[in-house]
């Protein structure tokens, strides 16, 4: 049995600067958030990524996009209480904000989601805009000039660039509420802003439920036959599952990634970028709880291939130092919500094109 794993809202980001000599400098830390996701239990405080929040800057709403249909903007005092210094928000006793303790999976340990029809976090999630004196730096810049020379040539000389996103259901879109908010679409939109004169095309050929074994089986149809120039390879969630539900041992996972990347390079001439995966809900029964090892295997494969590695795992790890896993999940299991897809974008934006 295989389980499915996996402008727009803008977070103001001061990206890595490039000197006159081409050297990259560390990206400035973030101190403004747009659409940060949060689920709230009873009247317990839920943590934002940042502390020392400016109270007048806070907006709490029911949808990621502020102009989404039926979006509700909640009122401070009536619906929630803000502790600005601690960077926390709590529901009031008579709040209109949904109480996450009413979620069908709340409090369940080692749960099998198949026993709980109707699970999911999106109806319970709020999204918060705010400024803060505190800041966070999610990534360090990566110079890809030696790793992606063909892609850089196309970008710098306005040659058409065809990008394929290949992976599991997270790559296919997961619980993103629109195609534009899926991380592959966000990445191409970001790249297009940097190189507006370069024609770009995205094909998302990811398949829900796939692990790297399936990725090898579908490679001809989904990638090789489509003549890409650049391929995002993003597997790991289903590989990380327990072996009896489609998991793949770590050494085989690493070898499968290398085989996928090598065939793409040799048979199409395209360049590749490898993305690690974030940890699923630790209370989910079917995860092996070894995502850190799968992320390391992804990094090792990228190093051996001399390909860029996008450390999604580390970005989520930093976010999870303050936030609950449920606050970043759309399905309460292994799909990121819209803000989680934004975290994927932050990892991709570490690449200095």
The model's pLDDT over 4-19, given as tens digits with 9 standing for 90+, comes to: 443 333 333 333 333 3
Report the distance separating Cα 286 and Cα 244, nearest Å: 9
- Compute φ and ψ for 328, nearest 5 degrees: -105, 0
- Compute φ and ψ for 117, nearest 5 degrees: -60, 140
Report the distance separating Cα 75 and Cα 61, nearest Å: 9
What is the dihedral sign for C-alpha 80, 117, 319, 322? positive
Mean pLDDT of 188-215: 98
pLDDT of residue 185: 98
Average pLDDT, the chain: 93
Where do we find the tokens 């790890």? 317
CATH 3.40.50.1110 location in the chain? 142-352
pLDDT of residue 27: 61
Question: Percentage of the chain surpassing pLDDT 70?
Answer: 92
Per-residue confidence at 283, pLDDT binned at 50, 70, 90? very high
Report the distance separating Cα 181 and Cα 195, nearest Å: 20
Using the predicted structure, report yes or no on whether residue 307 has a pLDDT greater than 60. Answer: yes
Parallel, antiparallel or unpaired: strands 125-136 and 59-61? antiparallel
Is 142-352 assigned to CATH 3.20.20.80? no
Q: What is the pLDDT of residues 153-196, one digit of tens each?
A: 999 999 999 999 999 999 999 999 999 999 999 999 999 999 99
Residue 202 forms beta bridges with which residues? 163
Report the distance separating Cα 345 and Cα 20, nearest Å: 26
Per-residue confidence at 347, pLDDT binned at 50, 70, 90? very high
């Amino acid at each position: 049995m295989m389980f499915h794993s996996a402008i727009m809202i803008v977070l103001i980001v001061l990206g890595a600067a490039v000197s006159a000599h081409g050297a990259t400098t560390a990206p400035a830390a973030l101190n403004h958030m747009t659409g940060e996701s949060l689920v709230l239990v009873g009247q317990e405080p839920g943590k934002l990524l940042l502390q020392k929040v400016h109270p007048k800057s806070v907006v709490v709403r029911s949808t990621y996009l502020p102009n989404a249909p039926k979006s509700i903007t909640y009122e401070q005092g009536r619906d929630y209480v803000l502790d600005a210094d601690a960077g926390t928000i709590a529901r009031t006793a008579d709040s209109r904000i949904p109480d996450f303790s009413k979620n069908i999976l709340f409090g369940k340990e080692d749960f099998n989601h198949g026993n709980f029809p109707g699970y999911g976090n999106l109806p319970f999630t709020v999204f918060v805009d705010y400024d803060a004196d505190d800041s966070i730096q999610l990534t360090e810049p990566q110079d890809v000039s030696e790793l992606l020379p063909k892609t850089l040539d196309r970008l710098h000389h306005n040659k058409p660039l065809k990008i394929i996103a290949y992976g599991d259901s997270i790559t296919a879109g997961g619980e993103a509420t629109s195609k534009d908010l899926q991380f592959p679409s966000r990445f191409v939109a970001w790249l297009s802003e940097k190189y507006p004169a370069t024609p770009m095309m995205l094909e998302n050929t990811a398949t829900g439920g796939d692990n790297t074994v399936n990725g090898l089986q579908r490679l001809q149809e989904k990638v090789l036959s489509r003549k890409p120039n650049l391929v995002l390879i993003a597997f790991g969630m289903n590989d990380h599952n327990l072996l009896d539900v489609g998991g793949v041992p770590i050494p085989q996972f690493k070898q499968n990634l290398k085989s996928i990347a090598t065939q793409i390079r040799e048979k199409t001439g395209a360049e590749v970028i490898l993305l690690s995966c974030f940890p699923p809900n630790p209370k989910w029964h079917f995860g092996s709880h070894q995502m850190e090892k799968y992320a390391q295997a992804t990094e090792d494969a990228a190093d051996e291939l001399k390909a860029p590695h996008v450390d999604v795992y580390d970005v989520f790890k930093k976010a999870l130092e303050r936030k609950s896993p449920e606050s970043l999940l759309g399905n309460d299991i292994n799909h990121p919500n819209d803000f989680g897809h934004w975290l994927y974008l932050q990892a991709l934006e570490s690449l200095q094109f």
